[in-house]
A and B are shown apart, each in its own frame.
Chain A
Amino acid sequence: MELGIIALATLASLGRVLALILLSIVSGWFLSYFAIKSRKFENIYISFVNIFESIPVIGFLPIVLVVFITGLGGTLGVEVAADFLVFDAIVWNIWIGQYQAFKTIPQPLIEVSENYNFGWWGKMKSLYIPFSYPRVSSDIFPSFADALFYIMISEVFSVGITSYKAFGIGTLIVQATSVGDLNSVYECLGVLAIGVVVITLAFGNFSKYAVAKYGLNTSTEIKRHVRYWRPHIRKWRAVGSPTFQFAQYTTKMRTGRENIQSAMTKVRTSRSFERTGKYIGTAIAWLFLVFIGYSSIQVMLSVPHSLWVSYFAQTPNLLYQMGIDYVRVLVVTVISFVFAVSLGYYLAVHRRVSIASLPIIQTISAFPAPAYFPLVFAATAPFLAHVIPFAETEIFVMILCFLGTFYYVFFGFWVGVRAIPVEFLELTQNYKIGFFTKMRRIIIPATFPYLVTGLSSTINSAWGGLAVAEYWPNIFGNQTLQVHTGMMKVISAGLVNGNIGLAAWTSLLFAVVVGVYSIVFTRNLMDLARKKYVIEEGIYAA
């Protein structure tokens, strides 16, 4: 492969991601502004974003792609489908962050802008947008990483014997790995790595700059923090990373008494108003699921009658396969959680190590696992097949899911730990509270809102990981990675082998289950986090 082409493809892929990040940020400013101005819109918007954040849209990938490709046709359809997937991977996180930032603007600053009649654009330009920079700058890390994770499945896609490709580095890597052209794979990964490092560094600098310039000066404003800090703590605090300062400033928002105005608006709007808004937001999210259902049915209608009967007959089996996938998601989530909590806690209390290793962790987490995974597979598959032949594929699936998901809960937890008031930690030292009690009684509850946000994203991307890993034809040369049982495999394999009807029926079942799950589980967990563990708008600071 020519280096020029590789560079161009990398630019195309990264450009696509960056452009969509930009689009998310700009649209998020406006949407968030409307959300904080109109209670009605706020309810719709937040329910919508919350539900979408917890729906694994990526799980419906095949159907979504079929809709775009048949709807828009050829090249354009493939490009829009790729953009749609990337957008879905990045947007929710950024939108929620901006909304939360807008909600936590100190009341005095808002009053100044009203007192002197800044006007709509004046408020945006001089207050809301600048205030959101620190938050946005820290949210683009996971968004960027998530978008890159799907770079291959969003760029290359085959239905039956037809294969659709959007131009980009993901496509090149898929081509090279499927013919076992190692040199080209290395070249692609090398060039991509350069791109990822450059962008991560740029994001890191933006984040530092944003917090330094746009963050509130907490060290002087939260007097109670400064006063009790021992000298060595203050020292590593001074060299602390932007994320840490960011964490402090969100805590400040939580502990501040600045919420009079929002509390007032809250009282002024009537309850029924609120409820209507929530219903509308939920309805919009459901519309998406209905759309998936409709598309699935459309696809099924094109399939002969006799096949339907066989799909219906397979339903119990499909539900069983879905159950297996839920177990996989659960296992990956638990592993990520334990890993994130231990590593996050370790790094949070060992500042020196964290300052050195954080940029490295950020870069690694942004480097798309599926891109280098075939190499890991090729290198270890024969060995694993020999040692544990029964669990070989399971281990690969777990590794890939883990690589794609852990950083969400990790970064969330890490920010949360550093936002814990130092008094809490001093208390644990003072009274010699043991490690497990400290974790269970203080650290986990104090970081709970952060963990919930991180966990729901983790669960969501775990599904994405399964979509990639359960069925991967030609992962390396003519080898195929596939699990024995798994719903994601049924969907992907169904499409690749031209059994579109089965894929559609499975997606439909999944859509129904996910809808129910998101309503009974995710929302309740969020509410719990909100009610029990945070004062006021703390959840928005998470």
Chain B
Amino acid sequence: MNTQTLNGSSETLGEVQLECKDLAYSYSASHVIFKDINIKTYTDELVAIVGPSGTGKSTLIRVLANLIPPTAGHVFLNGTEVKTPSSRISLVHQSIATFPWMTSLDNVKIVLRNKVKDDEATEIAKKMITLVGLQGHEDDYPKEMSGGMRQRIAIARALAASPTIMLMDEPFVHLDELTANTLRGDIYSILFNPENELKSVILVSHNLHEVVQLADRVYVMGGTPAQIINEIKIDLPRPRLEEEPVFYEYVKMLYNDLIPKESKG
């Protein structure tokens, strides 16, 4: 399968970061969710996964994070197979993943316990909180913050663990449109800030505008059992503006992939 783009340009991609080979998952022998999934991420790349509801995107993300074992296939990080959960591949959830009984600082520090000294942990955590724009809220509890702020804390926590890969499963879906937009605007520069060791990001999303705005490359999942049915490279300079016609072209292209085949014009 060739990578599809609008203008057909193809630049050389960097080093492979996360890679999975022939990944499959089934809940039971008769219920295969997805199979033959092969995806790769390269250095400094944000890859999106889109697909109809119920195709198994969340399941795939959890398999990639090794939170659930695949029925078949392997996951590699920098060429080495990974089989157990590790903070080098961090998952950011769509909701309630902050511990309500910890302040934002403690919520971030929790991933550093037993790894670095307490002072150092505090320092790193503060830096990450600043990076996501929440300085001054270190002592707030999640309850005292808005949904968007909590999501930033979850991102700061994931970054504090200095992951190589960050997996995000519809991270903005529970936020109101305004908050989500602001966070989308910031997220790319937060993630690919030179101070991080983060090499690539996989984003699962239903929002095609979000995908075109953020992703370098998009995998489209579909079918039963689900497979990767298309791969699209979004070749647009950043910052990307929704008003531009080419932005909309990409959205339309993804949309065409997602609507059922028979109703296609």
Contacts and interface: CB of A to CB of B under 8 A. Distances in A.
Contacts of B102: 126
Interface in B91-120: 91, 93-97, 99-102, 110-111, 113-114
Contact of B93 (A111, A116, A223, A267): A111
Contact of B62 (A111, A127, A216): A111
A387 interface: no
Nearest to B25: A264
Contacts of B87: 115-117
Contacts of B143: 217, 220
Contacts of A445: none
A115 B110 CA distance: 12
Given A108-B93, A112-B93, A216 B100 contact: yes
A111 B61 CA distance: 12
A109 interface: yes
Nearest to B160: A116
Interface string A250-264: 000000000011001
A115 B101 contact: no
Contact of A267 (B28, B85, B86, B114): B28
B91 A115 contact: yes
A214 B142 CA distance: 11
Nearest to A125: B113
The contact size tier of chain A is 20 to 34
Given A111-B62, A111-B67, A267-B27, A116 B110 contact: yes
A114 interface: yes
Given A115-B90, A221-B96, A264-B27, A213 B67 contact: no
Contacts of A116: 87, 90, 110-111, 161
B142 A217 contact: yes
A371 B84 CA distance: 58
A130 interface: yes
Contacts of B65: 111, 115
Given A115-B85, A116-B161, A216 B96 contact: yes
A261 B93 CA distance: 14
A215 interface: yes
A23 B62 CA distance: 37
B14 to A, nearest CB: 25
B113 A109 contact: no
Contact of A115 (B67, B94, B147): B67
Interface in A189-222: 213-217, 220-221
B79 to A, nearest CB: 21
Given A111-B62, A115-B87, A106 B96 contact: yes
A260 to B, nearest CB: 8
A240 interface: no
A74 interface: no
Contact of B99 (A114, A130, A220, A267): A130
A265 to B, nearest CB: 10
A115 B93 CA distance: 11
A382 interface: no
A114 B87 CA distance: 9
Nearest to A267: B27
B16 interface: no
B68 interface: yes
A346 to B, nearest CB: 31
A109 B97 contact: yes
A160 interface: no
Interface string A85-123: 000000000000000000000101101101111110010
Given A111-B93, A112-B93, A217 B100 contact: yes
A126 B91 contact: no
B101 A213 contact: yes
Contact of B95 (A126, A213, A221, A264): A221
A261 B67 CA distance: 9
B99 A126 contact: yes
B171 to A, nearest CB: 11
8 contacts: A111-B67, A112-B91, A112-B157, A116-B111, A220-B143, A221-B95, A260-B58, A267-B27
Interface of A: 106, 108-109, 111-112, 114-119, 122, 126-127, 130, 133, 213-217, 220-221, 223, 260-261, 264, 267
Interface of B: 27-28, 58, 62, 65, 67-68, 85-87, 89-91, 93-97, 99-102, 110-111, 113-114, 141-143, 146-147, 157, 161, 174
